[in-house]
Structure 1
Amino acid sequence: MTHKYLGAILGSAMAIAALPSVAQELPKTMIWSSYDVGSAGYAEASAIADAFGKQFGTRIRIQPSGSSIGRLQPLLKGRADYAFLATEAFFLSDGVHDFAIPDWGPGELRAIAGRPAGFDLIAAGDAGIENVEDARGKRIAFVAGNPSINVKCEAVLAFGGLTLDDVEVITFPTYASAMSSMTRNESDATCTSPTTSQLYELAESPRGIHYPRLDPDNKAGWESMQKMLPIMGPSEEDVAAGLKEGDTIQMAAYRYPIIATTKDKSADEVYAFIKALDESYDLYKNGTATMERWALEKSGHSPVDVPFHEGAIRYLKEKGIWTEEDAAWNKKRAERLDALVAAWAEFKPLHVDLSEDDYVKAWMEKQREVVASLILQ
């Protein structure tokens, strides 16, 4: 072999070595879990799955479930690749509500992206609730067995310096009955998304509708809310029942759906997923009235229910979306999750002989102690 050809081969090899590694492609098939058929979560997962199929040829099967455990188990047992979740992601990570029992405890989920969803204390127009603090002594509709709604409502009340002892909580058996209770004059306010169907009926009723403003500059209010529920943040909503075109409302937002996976999911796989989510955006952004909020400039920021996955962070950094504030939030959120996982590992073997009710009670005391110590740091 002549020196001329040897030099050409070595030069080609060096050029190849200098190129960036080829990004991992999406799998040919995937399984996602989501809320039940008919929910916003299912509709949005379906629209994104369809876009993935058209642009990348990936076939996706969605497993819908009406329960949080039904959405989480396939993911945690390796039968699903990703899950489109709601606040159960936060509840699992904190080991509370359904996940405070011995078989569960704090779980290691990681976020990829989460669509902002508005949330507020929403009042009947004639109830005299101009601001959140005006809800003192008023009838507030809660939903039986629905901690996702009720815990957020407690957090919004905290924004106004109120606790459940300051209001009259009226519990309704179903979500629909609670949301329509204001129109029937059985309550004065409730907490939910501003696009809930029953609110349009309230807006057209003689009582009317009012959204107490959550001022984004009210530092004390937001600190009180986020101490109770760190997944909430300020939001400006332009789609809401009774809202005139062109008007906006300042309220809170959480993330629904949040796309989550397990902590040990390959960073390269997650990077490929969020890249596909970004690159196929134009194919699904009009799938529903709120799907434009999946743009990573909106869905790729904190706060969210669980820490972001390292693969997602890598892509968000490359796109110039990830900020120093996001990094600081993510570090603090991971520390909270790590502390609770460690506390559970220490707590569980010492309490195996307790009944389930006593176990849950003891764990919740420990959980609150751990969270309180982190807030004070």
Structure 2
Amino acid sequence: MMRVFSRPLIAAALATCAFASHAADDDTLPSTMIWTAYNVGSAGYANASAVADAFGKAYGTRIRIQPSSTAIGRLRPVVNERADLGFLSSGTFFATEGIIDFADREWGPQDLRVIAGKAAAFGMPTAADADIETIGDVRGKRLAYVAGNPSVNVKCDAVLAFAGLTRDDVDLRMFPTYTAAMSALKQDKADATCTLTTPSLMYELAESPRGIHWPEMPAADKEAWDRVTRMAPYASPYTETVGAGVSEDDPVELMGYRYPQIVVRADTSEARVYEIIKALDETFDIYSNVSAAMPRWDLEEAGHAPMGAPFHPGAIRYLEEKGIWTDEDQAWNDKRLKRLEALQSAWKETVEAHPDASEEAFAEAWAERRAAAIESL
């Protein structure tokens, strides 16, 4: 007989489960944990499931994964201590910056830390017949964006910044869904878009009469990458060898970022985080063969900056012990912490200075103060 539980009962059960996890000794892996992730069927959920299964096999840890289609839905349980961690992506950066969904008075810059993150490549695929060889060549061309999808659109803005361009420099075409934007190239409704190399629609484009081309973002162009990382501090050069029109023999230099990233609250104990990243490392052989991309969870790759938030001290301690953490990683982390602290201070000042402002007025005040805080760094 199927039972129907009320929302209060479900919330209480989740809270109890999370409490049991936190009540365990921090220097051991909890017997039960709650993780958040993207929706069932997504790469993020698949990654979380593979790691959770490995933790269960190796340590007997029972893990419940709460899927959500929104950044708020994935992060709220973590912030409210009803989940131990989240398998997140760009929402990590948005939350620590207090932008997009997190510019609301309820949120502001969140004090989050990262444990590790799997590398992924993001770029601007174009139709091969669109005469777009470089990112700069997209000027005046039809560029497909996705309505209501800041995760894609903000990264696309960063790709444009590589060539010193903005949305004003292209013929921006806004599509209602991610699928519609990706399909637009094959249908000759757009000349370029922004995405990963592996979506099925990119393979379809590659096999279509229009073909596919990936304008590169060479790591050697330091000035261009300075523009990218100023807009997206979580981004870095990445050579991709897997995807539509991409291979070991024909790699492309694109924008690397982390999807998913394992994210916790800053106040999560160092001992607990140490045990989590240790388990992630020790169970690697169990989950690494689940898909072609899972080997990228090797800490030699997944344990380096940049990320969407600073690394947690517990993760840094383990990475140092393994000889993975570098001086460059530490320098990036120090800089990222300084930026987060500056934004948190700016947020507090904005809230105190505008207690009765309308939502629109508050948003304008925060945008100005946030820009000033970043400029001062």
TM range (shorter): over 0.9
How does the TM-score come out when normalised to structure 2? 0.92
Partner of 1:67: 70
Pair 1:272-2:271 in alignment? no
Any gaps of 5 or more consecutive residues in structure 1? Answer: 1-21
For 1:122, which of 120, 125, 142 is the aligned residue?
A: 125
Alignment of 1:247-266 (within 5 A): 247-266=250-269
Task: For 2:361 and 2:305, locate their aligned partners in 1 and report how far apart those are by CA, in whole Å.
Answer: 35
For 2:99, which of 96, 100, 123 is the aligned residue?
A: 96
Partner of 2:155: 152
When residues 245 and 215 of structure 1 are mapped into structure 2, their CA distance, relative to the original with a 3 A threshold, is closer
Contact 2:29 2:272 in 1 (8 A): yes
Partner of 2:165: 162
Partner of 1:141: 144
Partner of 1:8: none
Identity of aligned residues (%): 54
SS of the equivalent of 1:190 reads: coil
Pair 1:173-2:176 in alignment? yes
Task: For 2:323 and 2:140, locate their aligned partners in 1 and report how far apart those are by CA, in whole Å.
Answer: 47
Pair 1:52-2:68 in alignment? no
Alignment size in residue pairs: 353
Partner of 1:206: 209
Partner of 2:350: 347
For 1:318, which of 304, 321, 337 is the aligned residue?
A: 321
Report the alpha carbon displacement of residue 200 of structure 1 after superposing the two structures with TM. 0.8
Deviations along 1:145-197, one digit per CA (max 9) or x if unpaired, are 11111111111111112111111110000000001100000000011101011
SS of the equivalent of 2:83 reads: coil
Task: For 2:210 and 2:247, locate their aligned partners in 1 and report how far apart those are by CA, in whole Å.
Answer: 17
Deviations along 1:198-221, one digit per CA (max 9) or x if unpaired, are 111100110000001111111011
Partner of 2:306: 303
Alignment of 1:178-189 (within 5 A): 178-189=181-192
Report the alpha carbon displacement of residue 300 of structure 1 after superposing the two structures with TM. 0.5
Contact 2:89 2:261 in 1 (8 A): yes
Alignment of 1:20-35 (within 5 A): 24-35=27-38
Pair 1:338-2:331 in alignment? no
> Which residue identity is paired with 1:139?
R
Pair 1:223-2:226 in alignment? yes
Task: For 1:254 and 1:287, locate their aligned partners in 2 and report how far apart those are by CA, in whole Å.
Answer: 21
How does the TM-score come out when normalised to structure 1? 0.92
Pair 1:42-2:45 in alignment? yes
Task: For 1:95 and 1:186, locate their aligned partners in 2 and report how far apart those are by CA, in whole Å.
Answer: 34
Task: For 2:204 and 2:129, locate their aligned partners in 1 and report how far apart those are by CA, in whole Å.
Answer: 15
Q: RMSD in angstroms over aligned alpha carbons?
A: 1.2
Alignment of 1:227-246 (within 5 A): 227-244=230-247, 246=249
Deviations along 1:21-54, one digit per CA (max 9) or x if unpaired, are x992201111100001111000010000000000
Report the alpha carbon displacement of residue 349 of structure 1 after superposing the two structures with TM. 2.0
Task: For 1:167 and 1:323, locate their aligned partners in 2 and report how far apart those are by CA, in whole Å.
Answer: 39
Report the alpha carbon displacement of residue 245 of structure 1 after superposing the two structures with TM. 5.4
Deviations along 1:236-264, one digit per CA (max 9) or x if unpaired, are 11111123553211111111100000000
When residues 355 and 322 of structure 1 are mapped into structure 2, their CA distance, relative to the original with a 3 A threshold, is same
Task: For 1:85 and 1:288, locate their aligned partners in 2 and report how far apart those are by CA, in whole Å.
Answer: 19
User: Which has the larger Rg?
Assistant: 1
